Structure 1
Amino acid sequence: MLIDTIIENASIITMSEARPYAHSVGINHGVIVGIDEELLGVSARNRINAQGATVVPGFNDAHAHSVWFGLTLIEADVSGATTLTDIYDVIAEAAADSEGDGWIIASGLNHHATGGNYPDRDELDRVSQGRPVWIKHSSGHACVLNGVALKLVGAENSAPTVPSGGRVVVDDSGRPTGVLEETAMSLVQQLVLPYPLTVIEDALAKATTQYAREGLTSVTDAGIAGGWIGHSPREFAAYQNAKDARKLLSRMQVMVSIDALDALPGHSDDPAGVGLAAGIRSGAGDEWLQLGPTKIFTDGSLLASTALMTEHYEGASHNHGYLQGDPEALREQALAAHRTGWALALHAIGDGALDFALGILESAREDSSHPTMPNRIEHGGVIRPDQLQRLAATGASVVPQPHFIRLFGDGMIERLGAERAQWSYRARSFLDAGIVLPGSSDRPVAPGAPLAVMQSFVERLTQSGASYGEGEKITAHEALRAYTVGSAVATGWGARKGTVARGMLADLVVLADSPVDVRAERIGQIGVEATIVGGFVSHDRSGLFSAVPGVRGSVAE
């Protein structure tokens, strides 16, 4: 038998319970055909000596925002700002570097890094040379406009009416400060969006190029085509165009925002529901590009104190956060999508929002519909002990972001208090309760290099070095499993991804060291030597693969 490639002399962590370790793996037509003794008597066009390097299944980020991330690589960047002056300097430079009177758009604002202060609308007017400014908060749940932009959206001197679940922040005199929260961001989005498809395609190319450098072979984009999370009603077409043009260097699953789904007519025997025209639903596509669940926002963010809590935020007895719409309307919309075959991905960060989301999942579980992939809770920022078994009984996965602990943990402790911080961004509790734990980043809300996120799973340390939920720590092997097996199962691909075994897709990462053997503080520093997607090499820092004729190529070929 002649196959495409055999990688040998490797230290392979297979993540398969039946065969945890191996030293060689054979690949043919993008699929793993065997390991070790299963390759006896097999010849290969290419034999690659891995020189003892560690090989693991391809990393899979179950919740990121690929278009949004790619756009941050194009737009002005304020993510490194530690003072308001830093932000003003970035905006001034952007104004000087571009011509005309169009919008200046910046990404990565973190007001916690600037002492809790947002940029001043009037100062932004001065440094932008009279151009409208739109600065996106890193959480995605807020933005800042200057006075010129506020005038364009009809909010120069007073707060206009905004959709339920949002707010135009005003000062003591009632004058808008420039901060828009949650659904109020639609005021600016309806002026600037949609982005051209070519811009979205370029953003995807830039995003997946970075993914390849980090060992990511699969990524789920958690919301496209609608709401404040979408960039164009045709966003999925941009994904298809990028795939056809061989710009995607990773497999992509995309969640369509619930508000992009419409009522579906049909036969009287068909269940009434909402969806895409022609009845397209979760699962459509292939291993390179697939429709995932529909994304549903129930509440906001801990960073912006808009996530719905059953108890008030520390130091703010009047603020419990809020739902992002009428509860009954949200519930019926979610169940209507589920009836037509859509899996549900419910963004729920506060424990109050989780109570609401659990009610939806419990009703969905009683429904006779059977979506082709698991329902999910996105984030699960605060989950009370009494909610864990109820959550497990729904069969839903929970998709937390442990790297939030490293970046935002000190601020979250301040808002939640010591007790609720112990219930926040859990991991160990999920595994103990039998709940699937995937790996995810929510990039660009936080950096998304998988190995660094795994380190946060293991250490659970804030930026100041404080322990955050000590009892929720997991081992390095469990963290690796989350980013491989866990994400595969959570996205409905457990039978084809996540392990190095015969019949699985040939998605592999070659590492300079073993993440399960190094000290915890070194996991994020391990070099990614090569990334292989479907048998093709998308990244090769090692040079081992590019030296072999016919191995390196486009993942979309």
Structure 2
Amino acid sequence: MAKELFINGEVITVNGKDEIAEAIAIKDGRIMAVGTTDEILKLQDGESEVTDLDGRTLMPGIIESHIHTTMYGANVLAVSCKNPEIRSIPDLLRKLKEQAAEVPVGQWVRAWGFNETIIEEGRFPTREELDSATDRHPVMVVRACGHISAVNSKGLEIGGITRDMPNPEGGEIGRGADGEPDGRLIETAHMNLYQLAAHTREEIRDAHRIASNHFAEKGITSIHDATGYGINNIEALREDAEAGIIKQRVYAMVGALNKPEEVVRHYLEKDIRTGDGNERFKYGPVKVFLDGSSSGPTVWTTEPYTSDSENYGIHYLTQEELDELFIPAHEKGWQITAHAQGDAAIDQLLNTIEKALKLHPHKDARHRIEHAGLARKDHVQRMKELGVVPTPNPAFFHEYGDGYMKNYGKRAEGMYPLKSYSENGVPATLTADCPVADFNPMRGIHGAITRKAQSGQVVGEAEQISLLDAIRCYTMNAAYSGFGEKETGSIEVGKMADIAILNRSILTANVDEILLINIDRTIIGGETVYDRNMEVIRA
């Protein structure tokens, strides 16, 4: 007999036929049966719990295939520049001053989500302006993309950043007309200081708890963590997942925001491979950065930016350096992936994957590309031939789509080409790359269907996909990207009962109503971790 029955609903199974059922039964943390309400009710006994969905959608739990758990949770404790009250630099300085009053002298005052393109002044705050908020604390204001920051004088001092310091490889120190650092740190320059500003273990534990609770509220049952502060952070994810502080199943990429090659080499020396772990935590692919931010913009392109004929972006590794790191990783059984947004970066990663597979054939390597923003038609075909899984970010279109059109011109219409992936059998996922964009899966689904920017312009109508295709990207395809499709990703008998129950039917909602849909209940392994009606998060 079943432990819990869900009846009279809209059950989106995401099985091979995209069938829609009415009801399911779960027992011992797994899906016991799927069918009609009458069929499922026959499985109850006197102790079974019965939930009447009353037409609401029940679907597989969302698998967020690229998310920065620690960074997001830590950001919640900082000043959010996405707060509608922050419309100008004086607004930001006021919030930073308020934060400084609550932070012990000498500790970091942090802000995140800054976007100079929508702030009143259209620029970053200067070092001097940040000094006016507090000169007793180091201050770091991180751009929404996570690749650029503005810091005050004390922050520059901690980083040893002076007039005479040269730009680090792969980065830039912003300077005023007088040659003095103006507080802006771009790419590697930002990453280097960001590592020095790392959080304590206690702060990270709090960040993980906050992030997990927030993710559960949006129906997220598994996360592919896209790295944070290095080896200690990866192991903190493992510890907190196994302790239940992080409720979601964790598939952790092995790398770091700064000097990821060193982290990859560390793990290659260990007796660990992709997939090692347990139901709570598994090691995922090794990961590095090949280029920069799509909205910065600092992605590495083969043709110059439409907005700047001299700009081709930045890149971090040569082809030889990438081959030397990743081909041995592939040989040892690791899945490999890289942050590759521009078409030149995508070329580079696909070249390495092709070489690795020729030298050491593997029938099911499932190597990935994180983002693959400016993927060309030939890239899609190569991904198909090489069995590569891309992780596109259609949630970006809402916040950054207008900038994409400005910086990349017609190329932007083919960014994150979900329709092309679907038509060519490339199992792309969906992800918001949180905290770069809103992690609410409804925003990602809406972005995949509409590709609509804030101005209302559609960024590439030809690459729009259907609702069911978008849901498949967030569930079954995402499970596949982490070798988990036999256990999660669909509502099928025998699979883990990782489930999201929506507050209405998503199939009968019009496109813009999707953004208003909430999650009523999130279940992981048969256990409720979020119940909106009870307004509690249960461990």
Q: What's the TM-score, normalizing by structure 2?
A: 0.93
Question: Could you say if the C-alpha distance between residues 492 and 212 of structure 1 is closer, same or farther in structure 2, counting changes exceeding 3 Å?
Answer: same
**2:187 touches 2:292 (CA, 8 Å); kept in 1?**
yes
1:213 matched residue in structure 2: 217
Matched, 1:111 2:113: no
**Residue identity in the other structure for 1:462:** A
Looking at structure 2, the residues matched to 492 and 479 of structure 1 have their Cα atoms a distance apart, in angstroms, of 19
SS in 1 for 2:118: helix
2:397 matched residue in structure 1: 405
Looking at structure 1, the residues matched to 177 and 189 of structure 2 have their Cα atoms a distance apart, in angstroms, of 19
Of 47, 61, 65 in structure 2, the residue corresponding to residue 62 of structure 1 is: 65
Of 258, 261, 273 in structure 2, the residue corresponding to residue 259 of structure 1 is: 261
**Residue identity in the other structure for 2:294:** L
Looking at structure 1, the residues matched to 457 and 158 of structure 2 have their Cα atoms a distance apart, in angstroms, of 44
Of 387, 398, 408 in structure 2, the residue corresponding to residue 395 of structure 1 is: 387
Looking at structure 2, the residues matched to 497 and 178 of structure 1 have their Cα atoms a distance apart, in angstroms, of 46
Q: Alpha-carbon deviation of 1:369?
A: 5.6
Q: Alpha-carbon deviation of 1:244?
A: 3.9
Deviations 1:154-188 (A, max 9, x none): 223343352x2111122333221211111112442
1:318 matched residue in structure 2: 310
Q: How does 1:472-511 map to 2 (within 5 A)?
A: 472-511=463-502
**Residue identity in the other structure for 1:29:** D
**Residue identity in the other structure for 1:416:** Y
1:306 matched residue in structure 2: 298
Q: Alpha-carbon deviation of 1:208?
A: 0.8
Aligned length, in residue pairs: 528
2:461 matched residue in structure 1: 470
Matched, 1:188 2:186: no
**1:342 touches 1:371 (CA, 8 Å); kept in 2?**
no
Matched, 1:120 2:123: no
Q: How does 1:12-411 map to 2 (within 5 A)?
A: 12-18=11-17, 20-36=19-35, 39=40, 42-44=43-45, 45-52=47-54, 53-80=56-83, 81-114=86-119, 116-162=122-168, 164-193=169-198, 195-223=199-227, 230-257=228-255, 258-261=260-263, 275-368=267-360, 370=362, 374-411=366-403
Q: How does 1:435-454 map to 2 (within 5 A)?
A: 435-454=426-445
Looking at structure 2, the residues matched to 88 and 553 of structure 1 have their Cα atoms a distance apart, in angstroms, of 37
Question: Could you say if the C-alpha distance between residues 325 and 205 of structure 1 is closer, same or farther in structure 2, counting changes exceeding 3 Å?
Answer: same
**2:61 touches 2:499 (CA, 8 Å); kept in 1?**
yes
Looking at structure 2, the residues matched to 56 and 500 of structure 1 have their Cα atoms a distance apart, in angstroms, of 7
Question: Could you say if the C-alpha distance between residues 18 and 405 of structure 1 is closer, same or farther in structure 2, counting changes exceeding 3 Å?
Answer: closer
Q: Which has the higher mean CA deviation after the structures are superposed, 450-459 or 241-250?
A: 241-250
Looking at structure 2, the residues matched to 462 and 489 of structure 1 have their Cα atoms a distance apart, in angstroms, of 29
Looking at structure 2, the residues matched to 348 and 161 of structure 1 have their Cα atoms a distance apart, in angstroms, of 22
Deviations 1:102-161 (A, max 9, x none): 221222222222254011110111111332211222211111111222123222334335
Question: Could you say if the C-alpha distance between residues 442 and 346 of structure 1 is closer, same or farther in structure 2, counting changes exceeding 3 Å?
Answer: same
**1:341 touches 1:372 (CA, 8 Å); kept in 2?**
no
SS in 2 for 1:492: coil
Q: Alpha-carbon deviation of 1:310?
A: 0.8
**Residue identity in the other structure for 1:197:** R
Q: Alpha-carbon deviation of 1:287?
A: 2.4
Q: How does 1:406-425 map to 2 (within 5 A)?
A: 406-417=398-409, 419-425=410-416
Q: Alpha-carbon deviation of 1:221?
A: 0.7
SS in 2 for 1:25: strand
Deviations 1:399-456 (A, max 9, x none): 1110100110001110001x21122121101111111121211000000100121011
Question: Could you say if the C-alpha distance between residues 369 and 279 of structure 1 is closer, same or farther in structure 2, counting changes exceeding 3 Å?
Answer: farther
Q: Alpha-carbon deviation of 1:389?
A: 1.2
Of 496, 501, 505 in structure 2, the residue corresponding to residue 514 of structure 1 is: 505
Looking at structure 2, the residues matched to 316 and 449 of structure 1 have their Cα atoms a distance apart, in angstroms, of 33
Deviations 1:368-410 (A, max 9, x none): 2649762111111111223221222111011111010011000
**1:338 touches 1:369 (CA, 8 Å); kept in 2?**
no
1:268 matched residue in structure 2: none
Question: Could you say if the C-alpha distance between residues 82 and 314 of structure 1 is closer, same or farther in structure 2, counting changes exceeding 3 Å?
Answer: farther
1:549 matched residue in structure 2: none
Looking at structure 2, the residues matched to 40 and 189 of structure 1 have their Cα atoms a distance apart, in angstroms, of 55
**Residue identity in the other structure for 1:42:** L
Q: Alpha-carbon deviation of 1:254?
A: 0.8
Looking at structure 2, the residues matched to 349 and 240 of structure 1 have their Cα atoms a distance apart, in angstroms, of 28
Looking at structure 2, the residues matched to 314 and 337 of structure 1 have their Cα atoms a distance apart, in angstroms, of 37
Looking at structure 1, the residues matched to 519 and 353 of structure 2 have their Cα atoms a distance apart, in angstroms, of 38
Q: Which has the higher mean CA deviation after the structures are superposed, 442-451 or 506-515?
A: 506-515
SS in 1 for 2:327: helix
In structure 2, stretches of 5+ residues that fail to align are none
Looking at structure 2, the residues matched to 19 and 522 of structure 1 have their Cα atoms a distance apart, in angstroms, of 22
Q: Which has the higher mean CA deviation after the structures are superposed, 310-319 or 232-241?
A: 232-241
**2:12 touches 2:18 (CA, 8 Å); kept in 1?**
no
Deviations 1:33-89 (A, max 9, x none): 112377575335332232422211111111111111111111222233332122211
Looking at structure 1, the residues matched to 242 and 319 of structure 2 have their Cα atoms a distance apart, in angstroms, of 40
Looking at structure 2, the residues matched to 364 and 118 of structure 1 have their Cα atoms a distance apart, in angstroms, of 42
**1:222 touches 1:254 (CA, 8 Å); kept in 2?**
yes
Matched, 1:535 2:538: no
**Residue identity in the other structure for 1:501:** E
Q: Alpha-carbon deviation of 1:278?
A: 3.3
1:269 matched residue in structure 2: none
What is the RMSD computed on CA atoms of the aligned residues?
A: 2.1
Question: Could you say if the C-alpha distance between residues 358 and 51 of structure 1 is closer, same or farther in structure 2, counting changes exceeding 3 Å?
Answer: closer
The percent identity for this pair of structures is 29
Looking at structure 2, the residues matched to 90 and 47 of structure 1 have their Cα atoms a distance apart, in angstroms, of 48
Question: Could you say if the C-alpha distance between residues 49 and 521 of structure 1 is closer, same or farther in structure 2, counting changes exceeding 3 Å?
Answer: same
Q: Alpha-carbon deviation of 1:235?
A: 1.7
Looking at structure 2, the residues matched to 444 and 422 of structure 1 have their Cα atoms a distance apart, in angstroms, of 24
Q: Alpha-carbon deviation of 1:27?
A: 1.2
Question: Could you say if the C-alpha distance between residues 32 and 301 of structure 1 is closer, same or farther in structure 2, counting changes exceeding 3 Å?
Answer: same
Q: What's the TM-score, normalizing by structure 1?
A: 0.90
Question: Could you say if the C-alpha distance between residues 236 and 302 of structure 1 is closer, same or farther in structure 2, counting changes exceeding 3 Å?
Answer: closer
Looking at structure 1, the residues matched to 454 and 164 of structure 2 have their Cα atoms a distance apart, in angstroms, of 38
**Residue identity in the other structure for 1:191:** L
Question: Could you say if the C-alpha distance between residues 426 and 364 of structure 1 is closer, same or farther in structure 2, counting changes exceeding 3 Å?
Answer: same
Looking at structure 1, the residues matched to 170 and 91 of structure 2 have their Cα atoms a distance apart, in angstroms, of 31
Question: Could you say if the C-alpha distance between residues 62 and 373 of structure 1 is closer, same or farther in structure 2, counting changes exceeding 3 Å?
Answer: farther
Looking at structure 2, the residues matched to 210 and 370 of structure 1 have their Cα atoms a distance apart, in angstroms, of 38
**1:26 touches 1:34 (CA, 8 Å); kept in 2?**
yes
**Residue identity in the other structure for 2:109:** I
**1:340 touches 1:369 (CA, 8 Å); kept in 2?**
no
SS in 2 for 1:88: helix
**1:437 touches 1:486 (CA, 8 Å); kept in 2?**
yes
